[in-house]
Amino acid sequence: MKRRAAGETAGWIRIAWCAAAIAAHGCASTPSAHYDAVARDLGLRREVIEGRGHAHAVYARTPAGGESLHVYLESDGSPWIGRTRIAADPTPSEPVALELLRADPSPAVLVGRPCYHGLKPASGCDPRIWTSARYSEEVVASMATAVQRVAARYRARHLVLIGYSGGGTLAMLLAERLANVRALITIAGNLDTDAWARLHGYTPLSGSLNPARRAPLPPAIAQLHLAGGSDRNVPPALIEPVVRRQPGAQLQVYDDADHGCCWTRRWPQVLREVAGLLEGAAEAAR
């Protein structure tokens, strides 16, 4: 499909599921095809919206309604194969955020990243977008524009940003530039990318923004950060110092959880806690 220039009127591009590719190659032929197949099985609709210089896949259950919209952001997926080879398709093979969305009864969408979900052939998709610059100004600015257009599409006055793993990194960075964010929830979020790279002996993400080096978010944004006590990828010790700097933010550590398990199972309870946070914030603002 030919992409429109970023400056064109943003309308939505409705695209068909990649049924032909799935039929020809099987659901797991590529990570993108697998992700789409899982989303289809969950009853989600895929569309594409323009951000700023990049296109973004958007997954939604039904047309959303109501004042508030939950916006889910997925993990980094697999930017690298091993430590030396850049992946051709970084789309997550385990769609954790997609599963969380399915368990959410609120109006909700998942907004994908630039160059993920089969959009890599588009212009501007240099591998740095999903490697060293995965949280860059370019990526965050394009995602902010896409989220704003999603909100306008669904007439949402308020947004709740929900990010899993590297999606939590992006949620923190997006919250500071979107005026209508009421709440921020991160799950096993990589909130200090420099400390994370040092912990694992990785090359620093030199082209990326680091939430730990940004100014604290406004107190009006309710924050809930979840960490797994057994998480070796993003341990609670990396998350806690960042959360401590955020006004009114809460950190919950689940001793029986690790990076991938078992967030979906406890998600309904987390959403009830989020609803309580928003009610408390609304009362405080009166």
Residue 243 structural domain: 13-285
Q: Residue holding tokens 């939604």?
A: 60
Work out the average pLDDT over 69-78: 96
Q: What is the pLDDT of residue 169?
A: 98
- Range in 6-20, 65-79, 154-168 with the lowest mean pLDDT: 6-20
**How sure is the predictor about 277, in pLDDT bands with cuts at 50, 70 and 90?**
confident
N residues, the chain:
286
6 in a structural domain: no
Task: Write phi, then psi, for 93 (nearest 5 degrees).
Answer: -85, -20
Long-range CB pairs of 233-240, under 8 A, 24+ apart, other chains included: 233/165, 233/188, 233/200, 233/259, 234/165, 234/188, 234/189, 234/190, 234/196, 234/259, 235/199, 238/190, 238/191, 238/192, 238/195, 238/196, 238/199, 239/186, 239/189, 239/191, 239/192
Is residue 281's pLDDT more than 80?
A: no
Q: Average pLDDT over the chain, rounded to whole?
A: 87
**How sure is the predictor about 67, in pLDDT bands with cuts at 50, 70 and 90?**
confident
3-state secondary structure labels for all residues of 36-68: HHHHHHCCCEEEEEECCCCEEEEEECCCCCCCE
Is residue 10's pLDDT more than 80?
A: no
Helix (H) or strand (E) holding 31: helix 31-41
Residues 47, 16: Cα–Cα separation, whole Å: 8
Handedness of CA 65, 177, 272, 239 (dihedral sign): positive
- Range in 27-36, 108-117, 162-171 with the lowest mean pLDDT: 27-36
The larger pLDDT score, comparing residue 265 to residue 284, is at: 265
**How sure is the predictor about 208, in pLDDT bands with cuts at 50, 70 and 90?**
very high
Contacts with 275 (C-beta within 8 Å, 6 or more apart), sequence order: none
- C-alpha 94, offset from chain centre: 14
Residues 222, 227: Cα–Cα separation, whole Å: 17
Work out the average pLDDT over 12-41: 62
**How sure is the predictor about 28, in pLDDT bands with cuts at 50, 70 and 90?**
low
> 60 with 47: CB under 8 angstroms?
yes
104 in a structural domain: yes
**How sure is the predictor about 238, in pLDDT bands with cuts at 50, 70 and 90?**
very high
234 in a structural domain: yes
> 83 with 117: CB under 8 angstroms?
no
Q: What is the pLDDT of residues 108-147, one digit of tens each?
A: 999 999 999 999 877 679 999 999 999 999 999 999 999 9
Work out the average pLDDT over 188-216: 96
Is residue 85's pLDDT more than 80?
A: yes
Work out the average pLDDT over 49-73: 89
149 in a structural domain: yes
Q: What is the pLDDT of residue 263?
A: 94
Q: From 181, 242, 247, 241, select the one nearest 214 (Cα to Cα).
A: 242
21 in a structural domain: yes
Is residue 65's pLDDT more than 80?
A: no
**How sure is the predictor about 278, in pLDDT bands with cuts at 50, 70 and 90?**
confident
Total number of domains constituting the chain: 1
Beta bridge partners of 108: 70
- Amino acid, res. 21: A
183 in a structural domain: yes
133 in a structural domain: yes
Return the number of other C-beta atoms located less than 10 Å from residue 60's C-beta. 21
Q: What is the pLDDT of residue 1?
A: 30
**How sure is the predictor about 19, in pLDDT bands with cuts at 50, 70 and 90?**
very low
Residues 131, 79: Cα–Cα separation, whole Å: 6
> 31 with 79: CB under 8 angstroms?
no
Q: Which CATH number covers residue 73?
A: 3.40.50.1820
- Amino acid, res. 188: A
Is residue 8's pLDDT more than 60?
A: no
Work out the average pLDDT over 142-168: 96
2 in a structural domain: no
